[in-house]
Amino acid sequence: MAYFDAASAVPLHPVARQGLLASLDDGWADPARLYREGRKARILVDAAREAAAEAVGCRADEVVFTSSGTRAVHTGVAGALAGRRRVGRHLIVSAVEHSSVLHSADAHEADGGTVTQVGVGRAGLVEPGAYAGALREDTALACLQSANHEVGTVQPVAAVAEVCRAAGVPLLVDAAQSLGWGPVEGEWSLLTASAHKWGGPAGVGLLVVRKGVRFAAQGPSDERESGRAPGFENIPAIVAAVASLRAVRAEAAQEALRLRELTERIRSRVPELVPDVEVVGEPGRRLPGIVTFSCLYVDGEALLHELDREGFSVSSGSSCTSSTLTPSHVLRAMGVLSEGNVRVSLPPGTAEADVERFLDILPGTVAAVREKLGAPAPATAVREDVLVVDSLGKRCPIPVIELAKVFPTVPLGGLVRVLSDDEAARLDIPAWCEMRGQEYVGEEKAERGCAYLVRRLT
């Protein structure tokens, strides 16, 4: 089985396993106690904190170990907002942040705060100027991921941090996807990360709060982790997490070159091997191991199941997968095709032969899914000079399939009106138009759902 979902979780690194087992004997006691067993546990925690600080590029007393990366985000956002409440209650996030950041923003808004979402282009990249334009006198905090978890786009953190620093606003960086590859550049103020993203054990997160940043931990606290992460530390897991971070960093430069070559191979060959595919994400500024593409006329869940049967573990941001009924918020913000979406994220050590086998089986797999899915005979009617395609009650990718099947019958300059109540159509029909060189006229309200207008240009 080829595991191609490293953006979700990386298999436990051998060094993490060794560190976990080695620290079980000495890392079980309370590190806050002064007796011998407590001192042994404290030595392990202190050494892990020093090593984590070195990897991040900060002071050891700025590092807090949390129970997960999500907990680090929630704690960091809430604490920074509370610490700067006198300034105001305005929060800035990008539209493609990890759900943990967006959930924190939702909670802040529900509590009376205000939130500005900064949009992105079709490559998923934010513009530093957009952050500058979103800053206000009452802005308490800005958040920006170092790299996107779905399409691999690396964000201009240093430039955004400089914009925020000039305005006196702290920037929280979610570095979950990138920290294993190297430290985050720029004058950021807070940073979060998650150990299972680089081969450490699940259940360990990092929260870094720079000295001088106003921070007020929310909720009940105790004397542990500077009062910012209450509860007994999982010392063996912390030791294993930091040990694996140091190990992957030592291998990062060489492994990044190898994985970039493999993902570039996928990016360039998939459109050659499979018709009607859109490769998404920034082609240059990207993480080494992530490549994402979407296939027209394909059900995302069916495609993932077929790839799983062929021995490949991948993920998807399509709305037609079992875990969601709406397209990925990342793909939606980018305005790219969402149907038949596949994210390939290669873990360190991925064999070249596995990538080649993936490219060998992908065309037949996509073709088989398209053939099995078929295309129901579209219900059509002529309304003056507009061809109407009724796809109400049909899920992705049926509306686009029905549009494509009737389109050859439309005269040049003619319009097609696609009726759909599937949210994915709002992304997929304009994406189809761009791929086909046709004009997407826009949408209008219908008695049920929406009507999407497409004009034939070629």
Q: Which residues are catalytic?
A: 320
Cα(325)–Cα(8) distance, integer angstroms: 20
Tell me the pLDDT of the chain (458 aa) as tens digits: 899 999 999 999 999 999 999 999 989 998 989 999 999 999 999 999 999 999 999 999 999 999 999 999 999 999 999 999 999 999 999 999 999 999 999 999 999 999 999 999 999 999 999 999 999 999 999 999 999 999 999 999 999 999 999 999 999 999 999 999 999 999 999 999 999 999 999 999 999 999 999 999 998 877 788 778 888 899 999 999 999 999 999 999 999 999 999 999 999 999 999 999 999 999 999 999 999 999 999 988 899 999 999 999 999 876 444 455 578 999 999 999 988 999 999 999 999 999 999 999 999 999 999 988 773 334 444 444 688 999 888 888 999 999 999 898 888 888 999 999 988 899 999 999 999 999 999 999 888 889 999 999 98
Cα(48)–Cα(310) distance, integer angstroms: 41
Residue 108 has a CB neighbour count (10 Å cut-off) of 21
Residue 405 has a CB neighbour count (10 Å cut-off) of 16
* H helices, E strands: number in the chain: 12, 17
Query: 51: which 2 tokens?
Result: 């090593």
Residue 259 has a CB neighbour count (10 Å cut-off) of 25
Cα(372)–Cα(375) distance, integer angstroms: 9
Order of strands, sheet of 450-455, starting from the edge strand that comes earlier in the sequence: 379-383, 386-390, 415-420, 450-455, 439-445
Q: How distant is the alpha carbon of residue 66 from its chain centre?
A: 20
